Amino acid sequence: MILTINLDKKHIQESLELFLTKLLYYIYSWLSNDGEVIGYIIGVFHVLIATSIPIIIFISHMIYPNFWLKLFNFVCLFIIFIQHIVFNVCLLIPMEERLTKQQTIFYPLLEKMLEPIGISINQFITYLVISEGTAVICFGLELLSHVSRFVYTYYGIDI
């Protein structure tokens, strides 16, 4: 028995998209087996995730500053950042476009939002990846400070 690992980015992206598509077909088989309907569900998830991340960041820092909520937020943001860097696209966009056989609803929505500012989608995506990287670094340092504070208080070390 030979175990081989293929580290081709295109193969990994296709495998992840296939896995996520099959997972969503399994979860929503009670609703529909039509690929177009599943594609629109993926589009709705994409918009919900994109709008809920800033809300969760606000909640975890202003309203409910809990370590585990901050850790969950960091892990989600880290996964999103890594897939944006590695695959140069959010995995949900090609899945949605393949299933619905048309352009994702995310781009026209972004174009309408960015029109008054005068920024193109490519510039926005560049700024988004830079801000994601900055946020991942800052939230990682914040979690490190929480862990350090816990270790110092647990061992009774005064600073």
Percentages helix, strand, coil for the chain (3-state, rounded to 5) are 75, 0, 25
pLDDT digits (tens, 9 = 90+) for 5-54: 667 778 788 888 888 888 877 887 777 777 778 888 888 888 898 899 99
**Given this model, what pLDDT does residue 18 score?**
84
The whole-model pTM stands at 0.80
Taking the C-alpha atoms of residue 4 and residue 98, their distance in angstroms, rounded to an integer, is 28
The share of the chain scoring above pLDDT 70, in percent, equals 95
Tokens matching residue 50: 């994109």
The share of the chain scoring above pLDDT 90, in percent, equals 28
**Given this model, what pLDDT does residue 6 score?**
62
